[in-house]
Every structure is written in structure tokens, then in C-alpha cells.
Amino acid sequence: MKGDTLMPAQLVNIGFGNSVVSKRVIAIISPNAAPIKRLRDEAREDRRLIDATQGRRTRSVIITDSNHVILSAIQSETIAQRFSPNCNLREEDLKEEK
């Protein structure tokens, strides 16, 4: 479409050769809080859990727009920097899509 300013989808490395599509990620959070542990358990029961830790300790939990929960062995701060290396948010990224 002409005049469409959609950001192209990019793959972001979440460790050990695993990647996620940047436009699908809703949140990157630390796994230590009790509500996050419950979220992880619910996702496992509903078969929405993706374990990308390769057997290592979970250091971040990624939530996608399809309600999948992805576990990563990479720190959440590191993954967030891979999304935006300069830690800058563009105004277009903050606007809701219609």
C-alpha cells in the first residue's frame, strides 16, 4: 500500500540460535515474580509455552501477541537492547495500530 509506514518485521536473537519476530513481542519480563511463574505454568498447561533455554536457567520471559510464552536464558535487559540498541523509541512505535 502506498503511504503505509509499517516497520518491517525483524528477527531478534533470544539466544542459542533462536529468534522471535520483533513485531509479535508484547513484553520482555524477568521470571522471578510469583505472577510470572503462574503465567508460565498456565502457558505450559495450555500448550502455549516455548522453551528456548536449551536446558539453562530461565533469565527472561517473552510474551507474544498470540499469547505464547517464550522462555530465554538471556537477560531481559540484553534482549531489550537487541530490539533497540540505542534504547530509543520512535513515536510510530508508541502509536496503536488501527
Taking only the tens place, the pLDDT of each residue in 33-87 is 999 999 999 999 999 999 999 999 999 999 999 999 999 999 999 998 888 766 6
Closest CA to 50 of 61, 35, 37: 61
Q: List b or e across 26-42, with b for residues whose CB sees 16 or more CB atoms inside 10 angstroms.
A: eebbebeeeebeebbee
Report the pLDDT value the prediction gives residue 90, as an integer from 0 to 100: 58
Amino acid making up residue 32: N
Grid cell in block for residue 9: 518485521
pTM (global) more than 0.85? no
Strand 49-51, strand 69-72: pairing? parallel
